Structure 1
C-alpha cells in the first residue's frame, strides 16, 4: 500500500535507526513525534510499524518498505552527484525530493545506469536490489566489459562501472545507455565500436567500464 511522502520519511529514519544504528526500539520523541502524529497513525494503519508505550519498531513489511525507501534515497544522491553534478550543499535536500519519483522499476534503471553502486556519496551502503543480484549472476555468463569482447562481437549495453562524473557525461553525450546495441570493431590501439550507426573510439580504461550483455554466437 502506498504511503505519503511524510510517512516514507519517518519510515526511512526508523529503518536507519534499527538496521544501521542498532536501536531496535525507536522512541517517537527522538523523531519529534508522538502516538497521535499523522505519520505514525498512517504507518500503524498500513502495518509498517508496531507500537508500544511510545516505542516503535518495524514490522516485517515495514522493514522491507523502509529498505526500499533508503535504497531510493541513496541512489538519488548517487545520481545527483555522479551524473547531474549537483553541488554537495544541495545533495541531501534535492535527493529527499527526487527519491519520491524513483518508483520501483525506475530505481532499478538508475541503479543499472550507475553500475550498481554500493555506497552513497556519504559512504553509506546502498541496499542491494534485484537488479544487482541479477547482474552479479550474469557477470560470469553473458555480461562482460567492452574490452573483453572479440572484434566483430556485439551485444547490448548492460551497465557502467565508473565513478568519475566527466566519464559518465561523455558516455551520455555519445548516447551510450543501458539497452543500446553495440558492436566492437577493433581493440587496438584504441577500442572502436559501432553504436546507433555511428562509430566511436575509447581508451582501455573506458572500455573496461562499459559492461555489455553479449549476444550468444
Structure 2
C-alpha cells in the first residue's frame, strides 16, 4: 500500500529523531497533529507507528524500513538537484516534492548515477540501498576521494562529503563545484589539481572531502 506524502513526512521526522538525534519518540503536539489526524490514523493502520497514551509516537519495525526509504529518497533527490541539475536555492523544498517520484527502483538508479553518494548536500548521511551494497567494490574504483587519485588521473567532481559548513563554503567560494572536470597533477606536499583551466592546491583534509567520479584508472 502506498503511503501518503503527509504520512511520509512523519516517518522522515521520526527517522531523523531516532536514528540521528538519539530521540525515541515525537510528541504529536510538536507536529500540530492529534490522534484523529488522517496521516496518524494511516500509519497506525499500516502498523508503521506506535502511539501511547501520552500522545508520543515511535517507529515500529515496518515503519523503520519505510522511514529509512523516505529519508534515502529525499537526500538522493537533494544530491540530484544540486549535483546534476545545478539547483542551489530552495533545495530542501524542491527535494520534498521530487522525492515522492523516486519509487520502484528509481531511487537506486539515481543512486548509481550519482556514484552512491554517502551524504546529502547538507552533510547528512544517506541510508544505503541494495545498489550500494552490491556496488561497493565497483564504486571504490569509480568514485574516489581526490586524495586517492593517481597523478594525471581525470574525472569530474561528484560531491563533497563534509559536514563543516565553513569548509564547504570555502571549497565552493574557490569555484570547486560538482560536475566540473578535474585532473590531479601533484599529491605531495599538497594536492594540486587543474579545474576549469585554473590550478588549485589543498591539503589532505580538503582532498579527502572532494569525491571524484574518475574517467580512467
User: TM-score, length-normalised on structure 1?
Assistant: 0.67
Q: Which residue does the alignment assign to 2:214? A: 210
Q: Computing the radius of gyration over CA atoms, which structure comes out larger, 1 or 2?
A: 1
Task: Please give the alpha-carbon distance, in whole angstroms, between the structure 1 residues aligned to 2:158 and 2:108.
Answer: 17
Given the superposition, is the C-alpha separation of residues 113 and 161 from structure 1 closer, same or farther in structure 2, using an over 3 Å criterion? farther
Equivalences, count: 165
Given the superposition, is the C-alpha separation of residues 144 and 52 from structure 1 closer, same or farther in structure 2, using an over 3 Å criterion? closer
- 1:19-61 Cα offsets, whole Å, 9 max, x none, are 1111112211111111111110000001110111111111111
Tell me, yes or no, if the aligned pair for 1:114 and 1:161 is still in contact at 8 Å. Answer: no
Q: Structure 2: where are the runs of 5+ without partners?
A: 144-148, 151-155, 160-176, 182-211
Q: Structure 1: where are the runs of 5+ without partners?
A: 149-159, 171-207, 213-217
RMSD: 3.1
Report the secondary structure of 1:56's partner residue.
strand
Report the secondary structure of 2:58's partner residue.
strand
Q: Which residue does the alignment assign to 1:93? A: 93
Report the secondary structure of 1:162's partner residue.
strand
Q: Which residue does the alignment assign to 1:162? A: 158
Tell me, yes or no, if the aligned pair for 2:157 and 2:178 is still in contact at 8 Å. Answer: no
Given the superposition, is the C-alpha separation of residues 14 and 114 from structure 1 closer, same or farther in structure 2, using an over 3 Å criterion? same
List structure 1 runs of 4+ shifted beyond 4 angstroms: none
User: TM-score, length-normalised on structure 2?
Assistant: 0.67
